[in-house]
Amino acid sequence: MSQFADELRSLVDDLAASGRTDLWGSLCDLGLPRVGIDEERGGSGGSLDDLLVVVESLAGHGVGVPVVEASTADWVLGHTRALDGDLSTILLLDRAPDVASGTLTAELTAVPWARDATRLVLCAPHCAPLLVDLRHTSVTVRDADSIAGDPRDTVTLAHTPVIALDAAPSHEAVRERLALLWSAAVLGAARGAYRLTKSYVSEREQFGAPLLKIPAVSGNLARMRVQLVQAEAASALAREAAPLSGAAEIVRITTAAAATEIARIAHQLHGAMGITEEYPLHRLTRRLWSWRDAVASERRWAESLGRRAAEAGETGVWTRITTTGR
């Protein structure tokens, strides 16, 4: 992580806490969604670790903006062309589509922020990423939302022209980058939910004492902290690990499990207060439920990790487990 990480975190925290209506515009004006992309490619410079700080800090405030999708789409596009000011989004596919004729006909579901984007990058295994112009007359976008209220639209393509991005990163590299970014988002939202819950049970009194004095409450708060520490450890490991080492799967599994447990305990300790529209907890927990399954579910990440272990064999797995710092 660069020496500017603390300043970057402070800047993002101030922006997210300001309550401004055009937060995304302010982030773009400062170039924050393009942190982690080389300046010569139209980015803002910095490293992926710096971008993870931006994502984690925004998520800690329960903010829903397309920073993960736009930054990843621009990272892919930056390998092939100059970037402009338009919003791009990205979608991973399970299998390569048929584009032999240079066009694509398909119905794509849960496309993030498609209603606001002008370009869509499609990444599938064993083929170059594809670029779709969402403004083309053959494209239809039907609005839909995730459980968090963020756009997850349905895009219908009817013989829509596509461009192959031959010099772009592979599907595996894109998938791993998204895994790290969504894990940072989950970690940030989990921290936010923990802080809010700790503050609530420390200030709210029952029988003349703070709720925190009740053993069952303090025990559950400790369990939240344990889940948070596990997620932080997995995140730190993933940031230092070699590409395609399995660390991305580990951090997604760990943060997904933490998201489930932290959201459950947070609502349990808040009681009825936690489900009111005016109280901010739901902005964090609904995003925990949504973001834990971004790209793939916890089970699919576990299956992917299992396949890696099987391919490595007994010796490879044992070496991976016992080697210090890996």
Cβ count within 10 A of residue 225 = 13
Cβ count within 10 A of residue 9 = 16
How far, CA to CA in Å, does 20 sit from each of 24, 105, 250?
A: 9, 40, 36
Half-sphere exposure of 219 (CA within 13 A, CB side): 3
Q: CB-based contacts of 31: which residues, under 8 Å, 6+ apart?
A: 43, 44
Which CATH number, 3.40.50.150, 3.30.450.40, 1.10.540.10, 3.20.20.100, labels domain 1-79?
Answer: 1.10.540.10
Q: Domain residues of the chain, as ranges?
A: 1-79, 86-168, 171-322
Band (49; pLDDT cuts 50, 70, 90): very high
pLDDT at 1: 52
Tell me what the mean pLDDT of segment 49-75 comes to: 97
Q: What is the pLDDT of residues 126-139, one digit of tens each?
A: 999 999 999 999 99
pLDDT at 322 over 80: no
Domain 86-168 bears CATH identifier 2.40.110.10: yes
Question: Does pTM surpass 0.85?
Answer: yes
What span, in angstroms and rounded, lies between the C-alpha atoms of 69 and 113? 8
Radius of gyration of the chain (CA): 21
Q: Residue 190: what are its φ and ψ, rounded to 5°? A: -65, -40
pLDDT at 272: 83
Q: What is the pLDDT of residues 14-40, one digit of tens each?
A: 999 888 889 999 999 999 999 999 999
pLDDT at 158 over 80: yes
Band (146; pLDDT cuts 50, 70, 90): very high
Q: What is the pLDDT of residues 214-272, one digit of tens each?
A: 999 999 999 999 999 999 999 999 999 888 889 999 999 999 999 999 999 999 999 98
Q: How far, rounded to the nearest angstrom, does the alpha carbon of residue 131 sit from its chain's CA centroid? A: 21
Q: CB-based contacts of 139: which residues, under 8 Å, 6+ apart?
A: 132, 133, 155, 156, 157, 158, 160
- Please give the CATH number for the structural domain made up of 171-322: 1.20.140.10
